[in-house]
Amino acid sequence: WLCGGVQVNYHTLSDFRKDHGEALDELLSANVATLIAAGVVKLRQVAHDGMRVRASAGAGSFRREDKLEGYLEAARERVAQLKAELEADPGKADRARQAARLRAAREREARVAEALARLPELEAIKRRQGKAADQARASTTDAEATVMKMGDGGFRPAYNPQLASDVDSLVIVGVEVATVGSDQGQMVPMIEQVRERCGQAPEAWLVDGGFVGHQQVEQASAHTTVYGPVPAAKDKAVDPHQPKPNDSPAVAAWRARMGTDEAKAIYKNRAATAECVNAHSRNRGLQQFRVRGLAKVKCVVLFFALAHNLMRMASLAPEMLALGKGASAVSGIGA
């Protein structure tokens, strides 16, 4: 009755969880817009961080190109064999079982093909790391998962969810998922997402050393003020906060800014915000994904972001959820 007569089973719940990425993203935008209008989210400072989460794939599922090509050929032969058997005797008693085996074989073929298709991207990453391209391996279970170095120092198949959170409220205002272990190159796309979602850029953008690169700082500085650590100079006698001859104006300003006491005080808010939000996500079960593929993984992360923001609303503005009585302590709510 609660579901309007719709049968609820595993597939119903699974499809709901993984097939509504666009709607979930729009819901997050509506949620953030409501909190901005109410004065809960101020966008004075936003902390951005990545957190590596185990993928639903085993380390043993990763194969190099020659192995993948062999698996793909074998999978195609198996599909052809099962299809021929099914067509030869369509009235067979175990037709349903044969059809299931054929479907499983086709799914296996598709997964191996996806792994082969991702190899060029992984080979390019190996080259940038100064390693041999033929060392690249892709998973036959989840082709979009990547072996990453985890927080405990081990290497496992994972995704790299990116969360941008408002410092004043700890509300998540930006969500993305990267398929590489490095955070380099993730800052500018997230700033663009937050600008589009919120209708404005935050005054300050706080990131750790994994995000800061000269090109990223230069592009980001057109919209916000970047606060991120300046790498230490190889020569200990050189002050890293002094501009270098090849620095652009934006990079030079970033160097000088991070040498001030004011910037150091602002930067302290990064860990207090980003690490706190990450910890909440871990405590709510974001330890390992139970779905496979980037699109499905992002849906799961969006669910976590929405749940997190709902809890923040209950804490900061209960009247927005019809909780409690009286005027809210948050300016602009319950007035």
pLDDT tens digits for the chain (335 residues)? 577 777 888 777 778 777 888 999 999 999 999 999 999 999 999 999 999 999 999 999 999 988 888 988 998 898 898 888 777 776 655 777 888 888 899 999 999 999 999 999 999 988 988 888 888 999 999 999 999 999 899 999 999 999 999 999 999 999 999 999 999 999 999 999 999 999 999 999 999 999 999 999 999 999 999 999 999 888 888 889 999 999 999 999 999 999 999 999 999 999 999 999 999 999 999 999 999 999 999 999 999 999 999 999 999 988 887 765 544 444 444 43
pTM (2 d.p.): 0.86
Closest CA relative to residue 161, chosen from 175, 144, 145? 175
Which sequence spans correspond to the domains of the chain? 10-56+159-321, 59-140
Q: How far apart are CA 57 and CA 286, in angstroms?
A: 16
CB 26 within 8 A of CB 34: no
Plot region of 48 (φ>0 → left; ψ -120 to 50 → alpha; else → beta): beta
